[in-house]
Amino acid sequence: MPKGDGKLIAQNRKARHDYTIVDTIEAGIVLQGTEIKSIRAGRINLKDGFARVRNGEVFLHNVHISPYDQGNIFNHDPLRTRKLLMHKKQIQRLIGETKNTGITLIPLKVYIKNGVAKVLIGLAKGKKKYDKREDLKRKVQNREIERALKNRD
């Protein structure tokens, strides 16, 4: 099964606008208590999230998983740092990649695959303002070309 397959729960659309995605890696998430129920309900926000490698482990920061409505005292801190599950070779590769200046780890998607929550992490390089404008121009041009071809038929 290719990366990113499964039931899509959340997507970080802003990431592709602000960053150039160099590569992607699939990782599992260590969750507590009612967090998986909140994720299945789609109550997760990836907008300001990022991942960081610390002591040979990868952690996900600033990803907001809302408390579960029926969770009462078993609920969790919505913004807690969550550990990501990856192979040692993948983590070593990430350490090497993030030593390069300007490379960041950004969560792109969260999805359920075989009953387990997975996150798609992107190795991203920040875009400059003029890069963003170029992308918007290219998008508009492609849209106009598609429209012209569609009307021609």
Q: Residues 34-45: pLDDT tens digits?
A: 888 888 888 888
Confirm whether 16 is domain-assigned.
yes
Query: Is the Cβ–Cβ distance between 53 and 83 less than 8 Å?
Result: no
Q: How many CB atoms lie within 10 A of CB 37?
A: 15
Mean pLDDT across 18-38: 87
CATH number at residue 21: 2.40.280.10
Tens of pLDDT, residue by residue over 76-113, are 778 889 899 999 998 888 888 888 777 888 999 999 98
Strands (E), 64-115: 64-65, 82-85, 103-113
The stretch 57-77 carries a mean pLDDT of 82
- If one counts the domains in the chain, the total is 1
Classify residue 121: in a domain, yes or no: yes
- pTM for the model stands at 0.77
